[in-house]
Structure 1
C-alpha cells in the first residue's frame, strides 16, 4: 500500500481547516481507508476533536505528542521512533458497527516553542537557514514519508501561516488543500501563500515545490452577495490560462452539523453529519472526497 499525503492549510486562521480535516478523515475512513491525522497546529484543535481532552492530556503528560518527538529527535538527538508517538483507533465514531480506522499524531501546546528551540539548537551547530531547512526536509523524508506505507491517507492539519514543519509538510504532500471562506479577508493571502510555496525561487536547494498546484476548498458557504461575488472571481482565476490554483466544485456550507462534528457527542458517522436541511454526506462530503481522489489521481 502506498498512501497519499494531503496538507490542509491557509495563511489565515478561522477558515475551517480543522473542520475540513475532521470531515475528510471521517469520510475516507468510513469508505474503508486507514487514515492518519498529523496535527501541526499548537492549538491542537484536531487532536481534541479526535482524542478528547482526557486522552489528549494523557498523551501530553506521557510525552507522546509531535512537539515532544521533535524535541527528542532534533534538539536532544535521540533516536526516537515516530510510530511510538501515534495513537491508533483514536476516534470514538463508528460506521457499520466498527470504529473508524483513524490514527492520530497529536500536537501539544509546546510545538511552537520546540520549533524555535530547533532553530536555536541547529544554529549553535553552525547550520545556515538553508541547512536547517534541509535538515527538517531530511527528517521528514526519513521519518514521516514512510508512513504512507502504513496508511491510505496521511492528513496534515496545518497551523495558520507557515512554520518550519508546516512548510516541509506542504512541500512534501501529494496535494495541498487550501480551506478558504469566500470573502475578501480569507482569500487575500492566497496569492502570498502560492508565491511563498510555489513561486519561482521559493524552494531552497534542499526542498522541492509541491507536486500539484493548491486546490481551494470553499468552506462556510452561505450564498450571500459578497460570498457569491468573491466565488465568481475565484472561479474566473482558477479557469484562466496558467492558473495558480484549482477550485473544488463542491462548496462546504455553513452548517451546525459540521460545527457539532468537532465534538465527541455523536457515536456514528451518519449521526455525526446529520443535518435537518440537507443531505451533508450525499450532497457535500462524498462529492468533496471524490474530487480529492480525482485530484490525487491527476484527473
Structure 2
C-alpha cells in the first residue's frame, strides 16, 4: 500500500516541482513502484516527464471531477515512473468542485483504488492555497517541503505551517511533516547558513542531511522532458537527488505500514513561527 507524499510550499520558486519530478524518478530508480500526480495547473511535472499537456485526455482534472477513474488516467513513462498528468482544464477545477460533494477529499477517494499498486505516490501541489492544494493535503500521509535558502523562505514556511494546522484540525488529523529539503543550496552566502540554522532549530531531525545544489543541468533537464538522473546521470545534480532519494527511502517505514498511521495518533503539531527576526539580510 503506497505512502502518499505531497510536495508543497505556498511560496513559488523554491524548486517544488523540480524536487517532485527528480525525487520521484530517483526513488523509482531504486526499484520502488512510483506514481506522481500533477496537481498543478501549470503542468510542469507533466512536461518534466516528457508528456505534452495537450496529449493528456484523461488526467488529474478528470479524476477530480469524476469523469474518469485514476487507473484510466495513469500513463506509463520510459523513466520507470507512472504519471497522472495535468491539462489545461485543471485550471478551472477549483471552481467546478465547489458544489461537488466531498470537494476537499475527491483526490483521496480517486487514488484509493490504485494505492495498492505502488510503494510511493507523490503529489505535486500548486504554489498556492486553493481547493486543489487542499485536495493534495487531504489525500496525503505526509508533506515534503522544499526550501530555498533565502530570507523570505522563512516567511513562506510560517504561512505553510499555519495552513497545515488548519488542515489537521478540519480535514486530515494524521497529516505529518515528511521532511524539509534545502534546494538551490550554496554555502557561499552567509544568508544560506542563517536560514539553515533557523530551519533546523524549528524542524530538528525533520531536515534532510542531503542538500540540492544550484545546477544549470537541473534547470535544463525539464526543457528536455527528462528527470535529472536521465538527463545527466553522472552529474552533480543527479548525484544529489539520488542521495536524497536514498535518504528518503531509508527514513520511511515499509510502505505497507503507511495506512496504519490513519488509525494511530494524530500527528504532532508543527511549530507556529519561524525566526525571521534572527536572520540578517547581509548577503
Are 2:54 and 1:57 equivalent residues in the alignment?
yes
| Partner residue in 2 for 1:218 | 182
Deviation at 1:171?
Answer: 3.3
TM-score normalised by the chain length of structure 2: 0.80
Gaps in structure 2 of 5+ consecutive residues: 255-283
| Partner residue in 2 for 1:129 | none
Deviation at 1:192?
Answer: 1.9
List structure 1 runs of 4+ shifted beyond 6 angstroms: 265-268
Contact between 2:28 and 2:34, CA under 8 Å: does it hold in 1? Answer: yes
Matches within 5 A, 1:96-111: 99-111=78-90
| Partner residue in 2 for 1:81 | 69
Matches within 5 A, 1:1-299: 2-53=1-52, 56-59=53-56, 63-71=57-65, 73=66, 78=67, 80-88=68-76, 90=77, 99-119=78-98, 121-122=99-100, 134-137=102-105, 139-198=106-165, 202-204=168-170, 207-223=171-187, 224-239=189-204, 246-264=206-224, 269=229, 271-275=231-235, 278=236, 280-282=237-239, 284-297=240-253
Contact between 2:217 and 2:228, CA under 8 Å: does it hold in 1? Answer: no
Contact between 2:37 and 2:85, CA under 8 Å: does it hold in 1? Answer: yes
Separation of aligned partners in 2, 1:4 and 1:291: 16
For the aligned residue pairs, the C-alpha RMSD in angstroms reads 2.5
Contact between 1:17 and 1:179, CA under 8 Å: does it hold in 2? Answer: yes
Give the number of the structure whose alpha-carbon radius of gyration is greater. 1
| CA pair 212-115 structure 1, distance change in 2 beyond 3 A | same
| CA pair 118-281 structure 1, distance change in 2 beyond 3 A | closer
TM-score normalised by the chain length of structure 1: 0.76
Contact between 1:178 and 1:217, CA under 8 Å: does it hold in 2? Answer: yes
Contact between 2:22 and 2:227, CA under 8 Å: does it hold in 1? Answer: no
Deviation at 1:135?
Answer: 4.2
| CA pair 210-159 structure 1, distance change in 2 beyond 3 A | farther
Contact between 1:35 and 1:154, CA under 8 Å: does it hold in 2? Answer: yes
Deviation at 1:202?
Answer: 5.0
1:158-198: CA deviation from partner (whole Å, max 9, x where unpaired): 10022223223223322211111011112212122112213
Aligned length: 253
Partner-residue secondary structure (3-state), 1:7:
strand
| Partner residue in 1 for 2:281 | none
